[in-house]
Every structure is written in C-alpha cells, then in structure tokens.
Amino acid sequence: MTRMSKTDCFTIISGSERETEGIGRAIGEAAFAGLVVALRGELGSGKTVLVRGLARGLGIDYAPITSPSFVIVNRYDGRLPLFHIDFYRLEHMSEAYELGLDEMASEGVVAIEWADRFADVVPSEHIEIELEIAGETERRITIAAHGTGEREVLARVGAGSWR
C-alpha cells in the first residue's frame, strides 16, 4: 500500500474507543459497494473497534462485531453486506487470493485487518487506515484515500461527522 498526497491523507487523534467507533461509523454511512478498507496497526490498536463502527454505519446493529482471527472472514448483512477479513493468521499470499476479495467487494464493503501482511492482494482503489496507540485510550488514526469514491468517503470523515 502506498501513501497518497497530503490532500488525500490526514490524521485524527481519537481520545476514546467511542470516538474510534464513530470514525468507523462515518465511513460506513458513506460507504458504497466495492469499498475496501485496509487496516493496519499493532494488537490492541483498535482495528476491530473501527470495523464495529463501520458496521454500525452500514446499519448492522443486530450482532456483536468480533475479530475474525480464527474464522478469517465474517459476513454481516446491512444496507450493504460487510465482509470483515483478518489476514493475521494467513501464512501465504495464495491464501489471501483464494478468499475471493474481488467477489466480496463487488457485493458490498470489505474491511481487512492486518492488510499490510499481504498488501499486493488489496485493490489499488481502497481506503488505508493505520491505527497507532498514542496513550491509554488515545489512538492516532491516519486515513488515506486511494480512488475517487474513496476520497469522497474520506471527505465525510474529515468533515467531522464522526464526532
């Protein structure tokens, strides 16, 4: 995954889990079929919390959103289907390709935790989110848009609709 110019990338300091979830919710509210969200960050940085917010933004509030570390893919149905993928336990890039990411994206929204493990599998048009632990409850969240529709989603998040 590459970095975009400054106008397509910004950093937010989230002061709480609630704010991190709110950022995800704003992305979900603006999401479109085909949107891929590639998340990276160390354990405990808030990747699943952000995806939980994304799910809420898609109208998925009937199920707990949990990390798919062991099942690899969780599907949730809302305004658009959400495919929550975790690359953490995959050992080979071929396993990531075999998941059928293109088919999932054509149907709904795809959120990939640990996307940096197999970055070549991530489509060129995507939203890249890096979460860093900045304090006990604070997270430094850097969001970059790679694509036109993705920039529109980024603009909505940048407008502060998540607060």
2 domain residue, yes or no: no
**pLDDT for res 161:** 66
Task: Give the CATH number for residue 60.
Answer: 3.40.50.300
Domain span at 33: 9-158
Give the number of domains in the chain: 1
Q: Confidence class of residue 122 from pLDDT cuts 50, 70 and 90? A: very high
pLDDT in tens, 39-85: 999 999 999 999 999 999 999 998 899 998 889 999 999 999 999 99
- Mean pLDDT for the stretch of residues 99-125: 95
Q: How many CA atoms lie within 13 A of 43 on its CB side?
A: 2
3 domain residue, yes or no: no
Helix (H, G, I), strand (E, B) or coil at 25: helix
51 domain residue, yes or no: yes
23 domain residue, yes or no: yes
123 domain residue, yes or no: yes
78 domain residue, yes or no: yes
